[in-house]
Structure 1
């Protein structure tokens, strides 16, 4: 993507059935700011697997996460609220819900940097699937050549 203007660090902690897994991911991406809303776009490439296009949209106390690749996921987050979510698999669509326990973000839009913390519970058919913590950080790419 030619307009990559930030470096991105994403850490996701997943707690399911008493087990905890941590995924960390470093990449570059693009930040757009429109009317105080931050759009962060990047492509997640997992070695030996497919590419997933990811879009975070963060506006004050609301956030959205859209992932599209082999399947697609659309999650919405508002602290203290339970919201419908969509997970499209090759086998069909699953109806999920997110319950957001924490949503906080800090941005320095002049420096194109920021971080967001989102903690949520994921439900399928009213049963909890897992508890997720997302730490998303981004900062302006250095113009220095390494």
Structure 2
């Protein structure tokens, strides 16, 4: 298993009725690579100084995002598949349905950054689905 420290820039875009909401998170984390599975581990701190640990598992045909702490969820992305999960945060619990359109992953190598891109639609508690784009750029630290 290869283990590398990485810098992470995560850009989350939500497109809802022509409006675009963009959130950018920059953190340090760890990248673990073994065979055809890559795991990205990092923590983020919200505005209330509460920690959320993220574990993103990338495989050739699917990606899973496990978050625990201030926010808790296990979201699975499989191309052209509908997946469901429960999203728990300080303001309550929501049922999520996700349909994944696209998953692209390019592993970071030497001095070249890697990127995970996921395009999907999510419906919260049965509401109209909103389009999401998640881009995670990874740079291995030396």
TM-score normalised by the chain length of structure 1: 0.82
Note closer, same or farther for the CA distance 1:49–1:97 as it changes in structure 2 (3 Å cut): same
Q: Bigger CA drift: 27-36 or 101-110?
A: 101-110
SS in 1 for 2:70: coil
**RMSD across aligned C-alpha pairs, in angstroms?**
2.4
CA shift in 2, pair 1:112/1:65, >3 Å:
farther
**1:1-146 alignment runs, 5 A limit:** 5-89=5-89, 93-108=93-108, 113-142=113-142
Extract unaligned runs of 5+ from structure 1: none
- Counterpart CA distance in 2 for 1:56 and 1:128 is 26
- Aligned partners of 1:40 and 1:55 also within 8 Å: yes
Contact 1:121/1:132 (8 A) holds in 2: yes
Distance in 2, matches of 1:42 and 1:121, equals 24
For residues 125 and 52 of structure 2, the distance between their equivalents in structure 1, rounded to whole angstroms, comes to: 26
Could you tell me how far apart the structure 1 residues matched to 2:42 and 2:101 are? Answer: 25
Of 123-132 and 35-44, deviating more is 123-132
| Alpha-carbon shift at residue 109 of structure 1 (Å) | 5.6
Contact 1:31 1:112 in 2 (8 A): no
Once the two structures are superposed, what CA deviation does each residue of 1:18-71 show, in whole Å capped at 9, x if it has no partner? 321111121110011123200000011234442211111110120011111223
Measured against aligned partners, the alpha-carbon deviations of 1:89-114 in whole angstroms (never above 9, x if no partner) come to 45764322110011111114667952
The alignment's TM-score, normalised by the length of structure 2, stands at: 0.84
CA contact (8 A) 1:29 1:43 kept: yes
Aligned structure 1 segments of 4 or more residues deviating by more than 6 angstroms = none
Gaps of 5+ in 2: none
- Residue 14 of structure 1 and its aligned partner are, at CA, apart by 1.1
